[in-house]
Structure 1
């Protein structure tokens, strides 16, 4: 069992945002904002909540594992045979927020999913940045 655990791979994306943690938290937890940068969903920031992300290619089955407002959000991400965990970590900085996304649990035989995540998450981050900027403007 441990041999396989050591072979599991993780995708990590980190980026500095010029917005406070509460703005990013909104974009990570409000269904209409999540839809704008990631996928359609029925997300609730409630530990144990089961939800789905829905895209043209199919659905992602998820369950909220950890909610620490404006600090940590973790949920399972199960799709197309992949059983992984996505963890968001927010850290306030002098100029905004450092956001870290870690998706762990890629098996060695799931290279396509791993490559897809490595390619996809930076694009999602770009979209997230735009959504947060628009949401910040809208709330002024």
Structure 2
């Protein structure tokens, strides 16, 4: 399996994620954890709470179309696994997000920036588990 490394696009994406996290904290006093934002949009505390969450989620969904506007093509996505495996993986990630009280954006970007010990442990767990999973899938399962 070949991995394509795109340092400029990766740096640009990282800068945009970091900037959006800082702006949300400065403007709304909120942490940008994607799963928490989605959960709050599904069960908002108020109309105001729903509005900023819905706008942020709409911005996330608009990303590929903004990319299209600038480049004339949509990003290429190569998914080397079946839809069934993606659904199973999504459920497993959902369980991890629930048990870990957050996701990579909440813990890895925002929590570590706030020097949260819980976020350092969660992020280390995400990274170790990811590395181990990739190793097992590539070397033992032959994918």
What TM-score do you get using the length of structure 1 for normalisation? 0.28
What TM-score do you get using the length of structure 2 for normalisation? 0.28
Which structure is higher in helix share?
2
- Larger RCO (CA within 8 A; separation ≥ 6): 1
